[in-house]
Structure 1
Amino acid sequence: MSSLFGGTGLRVSPRDVPAAVVDEPRSATPGRKLAVLAGGCFWCVEAVYREVDGVLDVVNGYSGGSAETADYKTVCTGRTEHAEVVQIAYDPSRTSFGALLKIFFAVAHDPTQLNRQGNDLGTQYRSAIFYADDEQQRIARAYIEQLDAAQVYGAPIVTRLEKLDDFFEAEAYHQNYAALHPNEGYIAGVALPKVDKLRRYFGEVLKR
């Protein structure tokens, strides 16, 4: 077994994470849909999804709190209700919400850690799916139930389902952060190993 979420103590192979049984239908024509996910530091999650075919754009930001406190310095105090999130724009003719969730649970983060990811502590680093509509809520809930029933992780999934009220774009210097700072210690030690696992185990979904 390979260590999927380095430094967390959780060991599971991406091969053990199944595809979502419940998913949205693949569109016959190109389009643009949005998914908002929280899985710890947004730099790491962003780096993973920028590699995925069908993903049109990834924007780092904050959800779960008010506009007045949606800035990095305040969110980092852990005293707001925000989570660091990524807003993923994707083409539903090339990928799906369920396919994005598989990557979320298999590579992007550890869904069994409550209000933390590794050494990043606080509710701003919680695992959450911010659903935009009833369909996203249905797919996300069914997938979590599917993974828990299969006992994929050997521990309960703590990922929260939260209604998406607002998405606040993060400061410009946070965007495309991993690609712009590949030699920074945190990026090299935490973000890039996740990208490597995506490339190793999910080569079929990578951008060409």
Structure 2
Amino acid sequence: MQTAVFAGGCFWGVDAVFRHVKGVVTVESGYTGGSGESASYEQVSSGTTGHAEAVRVSFDPVQVSYRQLLQVFFGVAHDPTQLNRQGPDVGSQYRSAIFYGDGTQQQAAAEAIQRLDAARGGGAPIVTQVAPLRQFYPAEAYHQNYLALHPAQPYIVIHDLPKLGKLRQRFPDLYR
């Protein structure tokens, strides 16, 4: 098993996307990228901790590669051109970020960003932060697997369910 950590706005939708990727074994919503010895939703929502809402993805690299997870992250899970926001959520806690565990992940993330920027041909630049993973604080239990537990919640219907449709459409071989 390997681990990847991504931040792309509210963790509910990012969590749901990666739960539907073949080869992903577990997904855990949480907080990372800031300071402090702990993190909670209240603390992180204040915007003062430097933490981002993120997901920790455990995956089987025989079934899905880290590069494929990066493609899903950039192509489906969020908009990597929005700085410190995603949709209606605003603040550094909703930033686009990849928290790498080793040099291989760091290099793969940097290369993916370079490819995306080149492919955009002068469009809005990719603003995704690439930073080392230092700590990961699991989010409260009620945030875990939120979409599956609250599929009719208006935020989920408007902002997150479309991401699953996009995943199925763009990456049919990875969708489960």
- Common fold, TM-score beyond 0.5? yes
Structure-2 residue corresponding to 1:44 = 13
Question: Any conservation in 1 of the 2:36–2:49 contact (CA below 8 Å)?
Answer: no
Given candidates 91, 101, 108, the residue that maps to 1:132 is: 101
Which whole-Å CA distance do the structure 2 matches of 1:151 and 1:37 have between them? 22
Q: Work out whether 1:159 is the aligned partner of 2:125.
A: no
Q: Cα offset for 1:127?
A: 0.2
2:65 equivalent among 87, 90, 96: 96
Deviations 1:160-195 (A, max 9, x none): 001100111111111000000001000011010101
Structure 1 residue 129: Cα displacement = 0.3
SS in 2 for 1:195: helix
Structure 1 position 120 matched with structure 2 position 85: no
Q: Which amino acid aligns with 2:164?
A: V
| 1:144 correspondence with 2:116 | no
Match of residue 141 from structure 2: 172
SS of corresponding position for 2:173: helix
Alignment check: 8 A CA contact 1:64 1:165 kept = yes
Larger radius of gyration: 1
Indicate conservation of the 8 Å contact 1:111/1:159, yes or no. yes
Report matched runs for 1:66-85 at 5 Å.
66-85=35-54
Q: In structure 2, what residue type is equivalent to 1:162?
A: A
Gaps of 5+ in 2: none
Can you list the C-alpha shifts for 1:11-33, whole angstroms capped at 9, x where unaligned?
xxxxxxxxxxxxxxxxxxxxx00
SS of alignment partner, residue 203 of structure 1 = coil
**TM-score under structure 2 normalisation?**
0.97
Kept in 2, the 8 Å contact 1:39–1:128? The answer is yes
| TM-fit CA distance, 1:79 | 1.1
The share of aligned pairs that are identical, in percent, is 56
Where structure 1 has 5 or more consecutive residues not aligned to the other structure, the ranges are 1-31
Q: Could you tell me whether the CA contact under 8 Å between 2:38 and 2:137 is conserved in 1?
A: no
Relative distance call for 1:152 and 1:97 in structure 2 (3 A) is: farther
| Alignment coverage as a number of residue pairs | 176
Measured in 2, the distance between the counterparts of 1:110 and 1:153 equals 16
Runs of at least 4 residues of structure 1 off by over 6 A? Answer: none
The two structures have a TM-score, normalised by structure 1, of 0.82
**Structure 1 residues 41 and 202, CA gap change in structure 2 (3 angstroms):** same
- State the Cα deviation string for residues 92-137 of structure 1 (Å, max 9, x = none): 1001110000000111000000000011000000000001111100
